[in-house]
Structure 1
Amino acid sequence: MSRKLYSLCGTDRARPFSPHVWKTKLSLAHKGLDFDVVPVGFTEIPKVEEGATRLVPLLRDGDQLVQDSFAIAVYLEENYPDRPSLFGGPGGVAMARYVEGWSQTTLHPVIARIVITDIHDSLDPVDRAYFRESREARFGASLEAVAETGGAALATFAEKLEPLRHMLKFQPYLGGERPLFADYIVFGALQWARIVSPQQLLSPGDSVTSWFERCLDLHDGIGRSVTAA
């Protein structure tokens, strides 16, 4: 198979956890495209494809290399137009840009505080050193200090999901009756936490929880192919 998806993982190579890679995995499944997952650790990424990227996901599709989950989704949409659409038209691309901004500025920073030591502990020693140095520089504090804020972040996390909860009063997915790439963006963030941490971000009976469970079942249950922590 010529299609490869480079995917971030820890010591257990069968547990890819990057939220951005999960967006791409569901995008490929949405399009009905076969692919092989190539697991890599943090410090292995710069060695992939002769230094093609410092971040994952990276998709090799034949002789094409595409990086960044949104760019990959656009690439798949343009190059496989005969398969189910990831956006449903230009308006869907614009909507997905907004959803991505909301997810990365509102959800990701909070989830990172909740799961940061769980991520660290799941990594190989060489990747632990990299992760500690890079994340402590990003947060301006030790991992342990960041983790101490995780309890408060978890207590208020449900409030961050209110825009999604409001939308789910009217339709089952952000894409409407069926999921689109916008759904995969938010799913990726929650899947990240589900895989790396035993912390429960979602509550039983919440409409967001029901939506997330539906997303786990999509495309022959690809989201459930990795069990919860």
Structure 2
Amino acid sequence: MTRRLYALCGTDRTRPFSPHVWKTKLSLAHKGLDFDVAPGGFTEIPKLERGATTIVPLLRDGDILVSDSFEIALYLEATYRERPTLFGGEGGKATARFVEGWSQTTLHPAIGRIAIMDIHDRLDPVDQAYFRQSREQRFGKPLEAVAEAGQADLEAFSAKLEPLRHMLKFQPFLGGDRPLFADYIVFGALQWARIVSRQRLLADGDVVTDWFERCLDLHDGLGRSVTAA
């Protein structure tokens, strides 16, 4: 059976960059499941699978369609119980929900502002128009003004990683000795930045940098299959 993972990309179809898609790519690899990636731009998403979703990732597994990275992880855990766990039990699911909330309310907004023009410039023209209109409506200002404000986010970004930095003093992964879905959540955010922007968010010698490098090496170096910007 061929699984298909629909992913978000820019003009270069070989460089999917969505943080949520990267969570799912590593989740599928964690479970040892084969899949093909079907890349597309922002304006193509509503057309996928006859309008099945407005977001990616979208996973087709046989006759089943699942969207949203967390819902896909839950689906994979329930469907492929005999394969390595993504959560390590109900406590792991609850922890992953907390990590997701922290990542999406703390890391994602900062990275979005830091990299906003980098993302725009990597898109096809039709997607650039959509991205500019939707993001300027969201932020209430031109993209260029958002990017200018993003310089403050860049300077403050390291401090936002302090909860992760503290945990990694005691264990190599958020999941403990081995990675779990919680690791993939945070990895997805930093992988997004790595792929779209030349801005350096992680410093040499930081335990978070060491953790991120370990995550890039997971599953035969899946994270390194797309080079840094």
TM-score normalised by L of structure 2: 0.99
Paired positions, count: 229
Structure 2 unaligned spans of 5+: none
1:154-213 deviation per Cα after TM superposition (whole angstroms, max 9, x unaligned): 001000000000000100000000000000000000000000000000000000000000
Q: Which residue of structure 2 lines up, in the alignment, with residue 26 of structure 1?
A: 26
Aligned equivalents of 1:40, 1:12: Cα separation in 2: 10
Aligned equivalents of 2:141, 2:53: Cα separation in 1: 27
Q: Compute the displacement of 1:99 (Å).
A: 0.1
Q: Compute the displacement of 1:141 (Å).
A: 1.0
Q: Is the 8 A contact 2:2 2:34 kept in 1?
A: no
Aligned equivalents of 1:129, 1:156: Cα separation in 2: 30
Aligned equivalents of 2:214, 2:140: Cα separation in 1: 37
Q: Secondary structure at the match of 2:115?
A: helix
Q: Compute the displacement of 1:140 (Å).
A: 1.1
The answer to whether 1:181 aligns with 2:181 is yes
Q: Compute the displacement of 1:25 (Å).
A: 0.2
Aligned equivalents of 2:134, 2:172: Cα separation in 1: 38
The 5-angstrom pairing of residues 90-101 of structure 1 reads 90-101=90-101
Aligned equivalents of 1:146, 1:30: Cα separation in 2: 36
The answer to whether 1:157 aligns with 2:182 is no
The answer to whether 1:12 aligns with 2:16 is no
Q: Compute the displacement of 1:109 (Å).
A: 0.4
Q: Which residue of structure 2 lines up, in the alignment, with residue 60 of structure 1?
A: 60
Q: Compute the displacement of 1:42 (Å).
A: 0.3
Aligned equivalents of 1:46, 1:105: Cα separation in 2: 25
1:37-92 deviation per Cα after TM superposition (whole angstroms, max 9, x unaligned): 00010000111100000110000000000000000000000000000000000000
Q: Which residue of structure 1 lines up, in the alignment, with residue 219 of structure 2?
A: 219
Aligned equivalents of 2:158, 2:109: Cα separation in 1: 14
Aligned equivalents of 1:228, 1:50: Cα separation in 2: 33
The answer to whether 1:192 aligns with 2:198 is no
TM-score normalised by L of structure 1: 0.99
Residue identity opposite 2:61 in structure 1? D
Residue identity opposite 1:83 in structure 2? R
Q: Which residue of structure 2 lines up, in the alignment, with residue 74 of structure 1?
A: 74
